[in-house]
C-alpha cells in the first residue's frame, strides 16, 4: 500500500507499507513546481496538481509507478485539488473557477460558471462531481 503527500519545492512524499517496515520516502520532481494536492487510482496511476513556479501556470503531474511526468493541463490557473473515480475520470479545480477533466487521454477545460477559486473537488463512481471554493461556492455536475 502507498500513501502520497505533496508540498512546495517540487516534493512528493510516498509512504509505503510493505513487509519488513514502513517509511516515508521523498521524491523530488525536477522543474520548480509547487504541489497542492494528490490523488491516485492505483499505485501506478497517481496525479499531483499545483502550479509551475517558473510561470505560475496550472500544473498536472502523473506518476506511472516509476517516475513523474508533466502532462499539459490546458489551464493557466493554479490548481488546488484533484480527485477521480478511476483512471479515465479525474477532475482538478483551482483559481479563477478553473475546472479540468482527464478522460484517460488528455485534460480538457470544463466551464464552471464562476470566477471564484475552487479549493476542493470530489467525484463518485456514478459520475456526480462536486466542487467547493471561496465565497461559499458549491458546484455540482450531474451527467
pLDDT in tens, 73-99: 999 999 999 999 999 999 999 999 999
Q: What is the predicted pLDDT for the residue at 105?
A: 97
User: Do the Cβ atoms of 141 and 129 come closer than 8 Å?
Assistant: yes
> pTM here?
0.85
DSSP string, 21-41: EEEEEEEEPTT-EEEEEEEEE
Number of domain units in the chain: 1
Max Cα separation, the chain?
50
What proportion of the chain, given as a percentage, has pLDDT over 70? 81
CATH number for the domain spanning 20: value is: 2.120.10.30
Which of 95, 87, 85 is CA-nearest to residue 130? 85
Task: Answer yes or no: is pLDDT of 13 > 60.
Answer: no
Band the pLDDT of 15: cuts 50, 70, 90: very low
Report the chain's terminal Cα–Cα distance, integer Å: 32
Which residue range forms the structural domain that includes residue 45?
2-141
Q: Over the stretch 19-61, which tens digit does the pLDDT of each residue have?
A: 555 666 667 777 788 888 999 999 899 999 999 888 889 999 9
Rounded to 5 degrees, φ, ψ at 26 are: -95, 130
Band the pLDDT of 12: cuts 50, 70, 90: low
Three-class secondary structure of residue 72 per DSSP: coil
Task: Answer yes or no: is pLDDT of 142 > 60.
Answer: yes
Q: What is the predicted pLDDT for the residue at 10?
A: 46
Which of 80, 35, 39 is CA-nearest to residue 63? 39
What proportion of the chain, given as a percentage, has pLDDT over 90? 64
Residue 69 to residue 46: CA distance in whole angstroms: 11
Amino acid at each position: 500500500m502507498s500513501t502520497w503527500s505533496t508540498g512546495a519545492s517540487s516534493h512528493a512524499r510516498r509512504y509505503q507499507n510493505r513487509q519488513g517496515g514502513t517509511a516515508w520516502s521523498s521524491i523530488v520532481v525536477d522543474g520548480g513546481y509547487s504541489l497542492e494536492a494528490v490523488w491516485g487510482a492505483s499505485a501506478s496511476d497517481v496525479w499531483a496538481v499545483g502550479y509551475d513556479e517558473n510561470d505560475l501556470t496550472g500544473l498536472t503531474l502523473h506518476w506511472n509507478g516509476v517516475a513523474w511526468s508533466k502532462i499539459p493541463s490546458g489551464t493557466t490557473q493554479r490548481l488546488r485539488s484533484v480527485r477521480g473515480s478511476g483512471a479515465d475520470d479525474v477532475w482538478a479545480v483551482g483559481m479563477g473557477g478553473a475546472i479540468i477533466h482527464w478522460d484517460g487521454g488528455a485534460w480538457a477545460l470544463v466551464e464552471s460558471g464562476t470566477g471564484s477559486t475552487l479549493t476542493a473537488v470530489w467525484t463518485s463512481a456514478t459520475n456526480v462531481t462536486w466542487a467547493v471554493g471561496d465565497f461559499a461556492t458549491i458546484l455540482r455536475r450531474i451527467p
